[in-house]
Every structure is written in C-alpha cells, then in structure tokens.
Amino acid sequence: MAFRVGLSLSGFPCSAPWDEARRATLQVMARRRQGATGLARRIDEAARRYEPSMATRLQALTSSLFPIVQCALAAALAWFAAARLVGHDQPFFAPIAAVISLGVSFGQRLRRSIELVIGVALGILIADLLIRLMGRGTWQIGLVVVLAMAAAVLVGGGPLLVNQGAVSAVLVVALATGAGGPTRFVDAVIGGGVGLLVNAVLLPVNPISVARRAANRTLSALAARLDELASVLEAGDVQRAKAALARARQSDRSTREFRDATTAGTEIARIAPLRWRTRRHVAMYDQAVAHVEFASRNVRVLARRAVAALRAGEPIPERLPSALRQLAAAARAMREELARGQEPVRAGEGALEAAREATATIGEGGFSTDVIVAQVRSIAHDLLRASGLPWDEVVELMAEPEQLRHRHGSQL
C-alpha cells in the first residue's frame, strides 16, 4: 500500500489517510486559539481604556482634599466638644454625625444637611428609649427600624432623614454600649452642629471654585458639541451626525451638576461670613445656569435636525457651519469671562454674530436646515439671557444685532 507523504500544518510529514483529519483538527484548534487571543486582547484593551490613570486618580484626590480636611477637622472638634466640654465617655456618635453632615453639605443644599443631622439624632433617641424598655435582640432591631422611619416620616422628613434615622437606630441597638439615655442623642446633636459650623463658618468651601468647576465642564461640552456638529455638516456624514446626537444627549448630568453647584455656592456665600465677598461672582453663575441648561437642550434639537437634514440629502448652506463655530466660540468666551468674574460681553457679541450669520442662510437649504437656523438663534438667545440681559432686551437685540455694540458693556 502506497502512502503519500506531505507536510502537516505543524511542518512535520504526515501520511495521506490521516492528513485531512489532522489538518481539519489543527485548523479548528488554530481558530480557537486565534479567537481566544482576540477576545483576550479586546478585554485587555477595554480594561486599559476604562481603567483610570494615575494622573486621573491624583486629580480626583486633589479635588477631594478640601472636603477630606473638613471632615477630619469636624470629627476631631465634635469628639473634643462631647468628651471634654460636655464630659461624655466614648462619644463616638458625635464624630459620626459630624462626618455625615459634611458628607452631604459639600455641594448639596443646607436643608439636606440638617435633615441628616435630625435623622441621626432621631434614630438614636428612639433606639435608646426602646432599648431601656425591651433590651436588645433580633425582633427589637426590626421594631426600632420601623418606629424610627415612621417617626421621621411623621415629622415631614425626606428620604435622607428617614434612611439615616433607621441606620442610626440599628447602630445603637447592634453596636453601642455604655451610657444610654440622652447621652448618645446629645452626642449626635453636638456632632451635627459642629459639622454645620465647620462647613458654614470655620472652614467653608470656596463657592466660586465649586460653581466654576461645574460651569467650565458644561460650557466646554456645549462648545465641543457645536464644533462637532459644524464639522459634521461640512462633511455630510450621517453616521457622524448620529454619534454627535448621542453625545449631545449625555449633557443632562453636567447641567444637573452645574445647577447643584450654583445652588450650593449661593447658600455658602449667603451664610458663611468668610465667603460674603464672593456673592456677586456667585450670582453671575446663578443667573447663567438655567439658560445654559436651555442652550444644552437646544443643541440636542439642533443635532436631531442635522441628522434629518443629512439623511434627506438637503443642501447645507456654506455659512451655516461657520455660524455654529461662532456660537461655540461664544460659549467658550462665556466660560472664560464668568471664570474671571467679568460680565460676558464677548460672549454676547459672539452669540449675536452667530445668529446674524445663520439667519442670512434661511431659504438656502431645506426644511431641516431652516430648523437648524432657528435652533442657532435659540441658543444665541439662551447665551444672551445667561449673560444677564432681560428677555425683552434680548428680543430687541436679536431683531437688530448691531445695537449691542452701542450698548454699555456693563449692561451685559
């Protein structure tokens, strides 16, 4: 019997009867190895893409140093006040309440901080009273949680107060030892009061920094979306337009953070004596936030019409992308002027120029293109309102853009 001798996939000779079977087996194994290698490579690339770099982690730590110092100072002062000034032994609920109150008061409204302090104190008080009557145990924990949450609801507390009351009650029943009665309740009140004192008087956060950081992110994202849409319209790429629309729809988080930051900054500037001089600057951010949010929503509408215009094959007026870029420049100018505490004059002039240039293209494209022009005008209107102008003056200026140059800069 004659055997043909060939080379296998591995380079070694193999006889004909086994050649095809071995070749098929080796091919399957090779494909599996390639698939596994490709999957591992994709997983590794995804991990590298989403894993925060050391620089990102250091940046996050740097931005968190101030609240960390606040919490440390409040915890130490709360312990000192409860242990040395009041004379309580092991007042560990005092620093706990101090840290909890600061954890929500940084970047949040003062009312929510007070809610947490009340929740902690209320839960401790109810748990202490029930322990004296019924002792500790499984069913006692359940009953204490029910009563603490019910009491928090009855006093008109929100979700924070209700939940924190339950957590504090569980801690008392499960962990706390030593003196009971009003001692732990007083410790919680002391700790919450110290936390609020640190946040409002002793070491208040800089409200301008809080508002500026959030505003810069929002206005930078707004400008980036407008620039991106200008490039998309020039290229006539429907897929890129869809991607730009998807990114524009992700703006809600940054605008919400901007609103929360200005609310917190306004409260701090009002109640913290050390920050009273920042009131005017913070008020500029507070004036702008709602209208910047409107502008972000209008960008989403603009992106949807860009997709529709490109999908329908409408002609894109040559000056329309330029108007979008001018609007992006106006958003960046507003970011820089607000950061310096200046009236956004350049931002207003840029927004009006973008509206004028876009308006000149009406009728040069199709229906969706004219809607884009209308959205450019709406965004320009929003930026002018964000600069501090009242509605009737903005309407007048939008009708006659050149009037802005004859107005005194302080009115912007």
DSSP string, 143-207: HHHHHHHHHHHHTT--HHHHHHHHHHHHHHHHT--S--THHHHHHHHHHHHHHHHIIIIIS---H
Specify if 44 maps to a domain. no
Say if 148 falls within a structural domain: yes
List Cβ neighbours of 312 (8 Å cut-off, separation of 6 or more): 366, 368
What pLDDT is attached to residue 235? Answer: 92
- Across 314-337, average pLDDT: 95
Instruction: Give the chain's count of helices (H) and strands (E).
Output: 15, 2
Same domain, 234 and 159: no
Which CATH number goes with the domain that contains 350? 1.20.58
Reported confidence tier of residue 1, pLDDT bands at 50, 70, 90: very low
Assess if residue 4 is contained within a domain: no
Pair 127, 223 in one domain: no
pLDDT at residue 329 is higher than 70: yes
Q: Tell whether 279 is covered by a domain.
A: yes
Residues 316 and 355 reside in one and the same domain:
yes
- The reply to whether 358 falls in a domain is yes
pLDDT of amino acid 147: 86
Considering the domain architecture, whether residues 194 and 159 belong to the same structural domain is answered as: yes
Shared domain for 194 and 298, answered yes or no, is: no
Question: By three-state DSSP, how is residue 5 classified?
Answer: strand
Range of the domain at 218: 207-411
Is 350 within the bounds of a domain?
yes
The three-state secondary structure class of 256 is: helix
Q: How confident is the model at residue 104 (pLDDT cuts 50, 70, 90)?
A: low
317 φψ region: left (φ > 0), alpha (ψ -120 to 50), beta (else): beta
Are 182 and 240 members of one domain? no
Lowest mean pLDDT among 40-49, 204-213, 240-249, 306-315: 40-49
153 and 275 in a single domain? The answer is no
**End residue of a domain, out of 202, 234, 265:** 202
Are residues 145 and 230 part of one domain?
no
More confident call, 28 vs 333:
333
Q: Is 57 a domain residue?
A: no
Q: Convert the pLDDT of each residue in 52-101 to its tens digit.
A: 566 767 777 777 788 888 889 999 999 999 999 988 888 888 898 888 88
Lookup: tokens for 252: 């809600």
pTM over 0.95: no
> Residue 15's pLDDT is what?
47
Query: How many other CB atoms sit within 10 Å of the CB of residue 177?
Result: 6
Domain count, the chain: 2
Cα separation, 260 vs 404, in Å, equals 32
* Mean pLDDT computed over every residue of the chain: 81
Residue 74 lies in a domain: yes
Average pLDDT over residues 281-299: 95
% pLDDT > 90, the chain: 42
Same domain, 248 and 179: no
Q: Which amino acid makes up residue 212? A: R
Listed residues 168, 202, 236: the one ending a domain: 202
323 pLDDT higher than 60: yes
- Same domain for 196 and 337, yes or no, is no
Q: In whole angstroms, what is the distance from residue 106 CA to residue 121 CA?
A: 20
172, 202, 232 - which closes a domain = 202
Do residue 104 and residue 178 come from a single domain?
yes
**What secondary structure letter does DSSP report for 15?**
E
Whether residues 192 and 144 share a domain: the answer is: yes
